[in-house]
Structure 1
Amino acid sequence: MMNSYLSQMVPQQAEKYGNKIALKYRDYDTDSWISVTWNQFANKVRQVSNALIALGIKEQENIGIFSQNKPESLYLDFGAFADRVVTVPLYATSSETQVHYILEDAEIRFLFVGEQYQYDTAYHVCSQCKGLRQIIIFDPSVTLAPEDNTSIYFDAFLEKGGSGAFQEEVNRRTAASSSDDLANILYTSGTTGDSKGVMLCHSNYETAFKINKIRLVDLSDKDVVMSFLPFTHIFERAWSYFCLGQGCVLCINLRPHDIQKTIKEIRPTAMCSVPRFWEKVYAGAQEKINETKGLAKAMMLDALRTGKKYNIDYRMNGKKPPLFLAMKYKFYDRTIFNLLKKTIGIENGNFFPTAGAAIPEKVEEFVHSVGINMVAGYGLTESTATVSCDWKNDFRIGGVGRVLSGVELKIGDNNEILLRGGTITKGYYKKEAITKAVFTDDGWFRTGDAGYMKDGFLYLTDRIKDLFKTSNGKYIAPQAIETKLVVDRYIDQISVIADQRKYVSALIVPDYPLVEKYAREHHIAYTDLKDLLEKPEIQELFRMRIDVLQQQFAHYEQIKRFTLLPQPFSMERGELTNTLKIKRAVLLKNYAKEIERMYED
């Protein structure tokens, strides 16, 4: 049996690259980016692997990492892998209830935390956790609770392994490591109940890297990659491991809200993201076009038409663009499109993997039209991320790419996507009944997603368990309606209501600054935001925009009534998961009055 790849990757890369930069992270005290070389990275990993053994952590024991994206998270991951230890990441925004559940379920004795919020949350629940022995803190500025005499800082933890006293044991464990070893337990975000711990072995990652290398051939040690999504998310985690294995420079964005600033500081060649990032880019561009007048506006619109013809009508379909179109596109690419990319911070862009939710077709068309290489894809935690993805000029608007070689896919009952192969999880941690239910008798994993294949491309239609059935017996796919409407610049968030109801309605979080701007321009007087959203003129504005966007849907699928909410959906009220997916059951409870009002005759 081969030793696991991830247990040795960092020292092997250090031998190859030495003092070449491996990581960068932002120091908020000095307002600058700090570089970490491969040699420094390998030294930190060595210290961590020694320190973990000094703590008495056993082979295949679970340790928790409750932190935002920080270099320490990576040091810990790879140090743990060298020791055959399993890392269990928790989302940085997790609540006390979620933290308590995972610590108990995964039987965690040692928990590593990032900043003050994570420490405070962990410390509040530690007395309720039977097995938790110690909290180890990454950020040295965290203030400990006065009565806390057991928690230590990361530097003190590293000192335990600083002398290398346990290196012989580390070497023994690394030599004993196997592809069958458990690497991570990743807890799903739990839109429908308690989280489930997805078990991913080293072999899952190794297979994923092997099959992704075939598709992502252009990724190399010349790439500068922005790490933006949480490491806790399988998409970012597997992608970051893969990028490091290719020798890329990985730039770690600590605070998600800062991405628009940090992306301009780094100007990456690649970054994986969710559709929401591109929806905001699209909305910003549309707003700019709407504000522009005369010749400048005409040029912007012509540039988009030219980009669509060139990149979508011709190149996407494997046709060579006519010379005049190619010349015209080249002009716009050097001027308008280049300015747009510079404004975002991606003018050096190589490609940008995007997944995690449906991409609105208008957004996808816009991104490709302006020459940004968005690589749309589909995957799950249970499939070690990517199942299928686009590639440059090999994509279809609305599709999620070609299935990767090495992943078996077939369409089952109710058009459910079924998967089999080396990237698929062996199951859920300590949940044998649920694991058994999610696999067919002949070993196919049931994704719960419906879709179809056409011309070699995979298309998603809906999430089977999310299908609504109206009281009239009609089936509604809420995500399809939401994806269509969320591209509107006045709509920030939307949740469709229809299950066991006589017609479709919606809770809508407007883009508040845009609505207020509209009110000023149209001289609409109001006292506060709630008052403004109830004004007939604002209601009519949204009615008109919704009706235009939902024309393609059948009459029974169209939104008949809606409520504009004066506050956004939030994680604090339990309405969103850590990956910002809507928890429909919580919305039904929190907005019960508003929903009932929409169904009054």
Structure 2
Amino acid sequence: MTYHHLSVLVHRQAEKYGDRVALKYRDYDKGQWIPVTWNQFSETVQIAANAMVEMGIAEQENIGVFSQNKPECLYTDFAAFANRAVTIPLYATSSPSQAQYIVNDAGIRFLFVGEQFQYDAAFTVLPLCASLERLIIFDRAVVKDKQDTTSIYFDEFLKMGEAKQHAAVVEERSSKASFDDLANILYTSGTTGEPKGVMIHHSCYKEQMRTHDIRLVTMTDQDVSMNFLPLTHIFEKTWAYYCIHKGVLTCINLRPNDIQMTIKEIRPTLMCNVPRFWEKVYDGVQEVINQSTGLKKSLMLDAIKVGKVHNVDYLRVGKTPPLMNQLKYKFYDKTIYSVLRKTIGIENGNFFPTAGAAISNEINEFLHSVGVNIVVGYGLTESTATVSCLTMTDYTIGSVGKIMPDLEVKIGENNEILLRGKSISKGYYKKAEANKTAFTEDGWFRTGDAGYIKDGELYLTERIKDLFKTSNGKYIAPQALETKLVVDRFIEQVAIIANQRKYVSALIVPNYEHVIAYAKEKGIEYSSLQELLQNSKIIELFKSRIDTLQQQFAHYEQVKYFALLPEPFSMEKGELTNTLKMKRNIIENNYKEVIDKMYEA
């Protein structure tokens, strides 16, 4: 198969697909999805590439994109690649100080911004960024600051290239484009310390396209992908580029909170996601089951049991299910499973890649049982996403799948997973010391994750940096316990506390809706959420549920005390990264008094 360089990929696909729809985005004013054909996509990229030359953008120059998911993000990316320039995405939720750090570190002159929030944050730091010359605003509704004399809107930017007066320059640059060129610098938000810019070369993307073609054999140009995760994230960025390479229709979800509406409007066959999305699906189903009685409840429980036998116990390992099981499965597939999938908006599902955090075995098994083909995987920004992923059949629940073709993986000291191959980043931008630490002398990248390989499948055990050691000398892997506890419908977020402590405790953010409903059902009176969460009956409810969930853990690994928090962990308080990973040091600092109280006993 031909692997076109990203500098020309959209144009080659336009030659192949013409007026077929390549992208869709939701126009909120009209309440409808606007199609963009491959020809229109190609034309816009060409105009934007000319506008970049007009603006003075040079080859291998760093360009910033600070926006939520919009088609303009892709236009900007591919126009930059046509000019052999490098794009640097910033998370749409980044604070002014985070934006300032990245702009200064990468020496960005031109920053493309999405909506009002991003514009305001960028304009605030404009005087603090020596390199920054101009903001280009995607959304026409953004109100510019009265002092702003340099920013332009994206439509004004496109007018600068409408005549394609620099077509020869763009063509010459594209012809020189090499797979050895730098494509992106992706700044990892980091659970500790300052962000590091991961350099992703065009060769990394080419290798991922090649190996995914080998692994994802059911994916075709008839598929429809919902772009939900931020395009700033390596998982979604690599996936978006891969969808373009495959000729897949990509539907861009602008507002993450609207996914339950937009997924039903699009009803995609593909969608990348993180486990939290599926945890909420699982919680919803459990809630329906818990509220049901009699025959309805029995049928739902039997449907899950039948699905497990059919899909997990038999088909997963290449065996034919017993005839009676097949008949029952067909019945449930037309009734219970199909209603569930249609309710979510995924009844047309092909498969759904899932990564970014650990997913519990229970949820993984449940989804496969009801015919939702999630493809669990593992990867990092530094590996250009996928290191391993489940195959469609012959996979093991509990693993993160088979290692991608031609990628070298070995287990080093402290069971650390080490990587080497064409999809692995060449290092961090302008961070020589970090690179020395991150790579071995013979070129293996240290992931910081511990695990093991069995029968060609990769298993994760813990994050080495997050491994806690109690004051009794026992090691605790907090993620294993957190993943187990967050399955419970009453638990929204969990932070395990144990490092240098005499026993394990936990900060728990409850699912407030469920707790309030439980209080109403049990006639528990309260005047505030804080008071409700300190009620002995609520504490006993959580204690019994936690004790049940943690039975499989050794006694020293189990939560002894916990505190129920009246507000969730948030990015605003610095407790979560842009990818919603916990910053444990910030959480421990913010809740120091609460934590200390749990160790007074």
* Aligned-partner Cα distance in 1 for 2:77–2:163: 20
Give the match for residue 528 of structure 2: 528
Asked if 1:492 corresponds to 2:485, the answer is: no
Secondary structure of the 1:127 match is helix
Give the match for residue 251 of structure 1: 251
* Aligned-partner Cα distance in 1 for 2:433–2:567: 40
Amino acid paired to 1:455: D
C-alpha RMSD of the superposition: 0.9
* Aligned-partner Cα distance in 1 for 2:228–2:555: 40
Give the match for residue 267 of structure 1: 267
* Aligned-partner Cα distance in 2 for 1:462–1:542: 25
Residue 313 of structure 1 and its aligned partner are, at CA, apart by: 1.2
Task: Report 1:93-172 matches (<5 A).
Answer: 93-172=93-172
Residue 292 of structure 1 and its aligned partner are, at CA, apart by: 1.1
Give the match for residue 519 of structure 1: 519
Deviations 1:286-337 (A, max 9, x none): 0011111110110000000000111111112222111111111111111100
Contact 1:185-1:199 within 8 A present in 2 as well? yes
Residue 53 of structure 1 and its aligned partner are, at CA, apart by: 0.6
Moved more, 233-242 or 317-326: 317-326
Count the aligned residue pairs.
600
Task: Report 1:188-203 matches (<5 A).
Answer: 188-203=188-203
Give the match for residue 327 of structure 2: 327
Q: Which runs of 4+ in 1 moved over 6 A?
A: none
* Aligned-partner Cα distance in 2 for 1:507–1:495: 5
Give the match for residue 396 of structure 2: 396
Give the match for residue 583 of structure 2: 583
Q: TM-score scaled to structure 2, two decimals?
A: 0.99
Residue 396 of structure 1 and its aligned partner are, at CA, apart by: 1.2
Give the match for residue 237 of structure 1: 237
Give the match for residue 7 of structure 1: 7
Contact 2:268-2:346 within 8 A present in 1 as well? yes
Secondary structure of the 1:226 match is strand
* Aligned-partner Cα distance in 2 for 1:362–1:251: 30
Task: Report 1:400-411 matches (<5 A).
Answer: 400-411=400-411
Contact 1:4-1:202 within 8 A present in 2 as well? no
Residue 227 of structure 1 and its aligned partner are, at CA, apart by: 0.3
Give the match for residue 53 of structure 2: 53
Residue 391 of structure 1 and its aligned partner are, at CA, apart by: 1.6
Q: TM-score scaled to structure 1, two decimals?
A: 0.99
Give the match for residue 290 of structure 2: 290
Contact 1:3-1:176 within 8 A present in 2 as well? no
Residue 394 of structure 1 and its aligned partner are, at CA, apart by: 2.6
Secondary structure of the 2:128 match is coil
Give the match for residue 457 of structure 1: 457
Residue 3 of structure 1 and its aligned partner are, at CA, apart by: 9.9
Amino acid paired to 1:561: Y
Identity of aligned residues (%): 63
Asked if 1:74 corresponds to 2:74, the answer is: yes
Residue 4 of structure 1 and its aligned partner are, at CA, apart by: 6.4
Residue 190 of structure 1 and its aligned partner are, at CA, apart by: 1.1
Secondary structure of the 1:237 match is helix
Give the match for residue 387 of structure 2: 387
* Aligned-partner Cα distance in 1 for 2:396–2:261: 31
Secondary structure of the 2:347 match is coil
Contact 1:3-1:178 within 8 A present in 2 as well? no
Amino acid paired to 1:452: Y
* Aligned-partner Cα distance in 2 for 1:307–1:76: 45
Give the match for residue 542 of structure 2: 542
* Aligned-partner Cα distance in 2 for 1:368–1:226: 20
Deviations 1:468-487 (A, max 9, x none): 00011110000000000000
Task: Report 1:196-215 matches (<5 A).
Answer: 196-215=196-215
Give the match for residue 23 of structure 2: 23
Contact 2:5-2:177 within 8 A present in 1 as well? no
* Aligned-partner Cα distance in 2 for 1:331–1:165: 63
Structure 2 unpaired stretches of 5+ = none
Secondary structure of the 1:393 match is coil
Give the match for residue 341 of structure 2: 341
Asked if 1:228 corresponds to 2:236, the answer is: no
Asked if 1:83 corresponds to 2:88, the answer is: no
Amino acid paired to 1:123: F
Give the match for residue 413 of structure 2: 413
Amino acid paired to 1:308: K
Give the match for residue 175 of structure 1: 175
Amino acid paired to 2:548: V
Task: Report 1:429-468 matches (<5 A).
Answer: 429-468=429-468
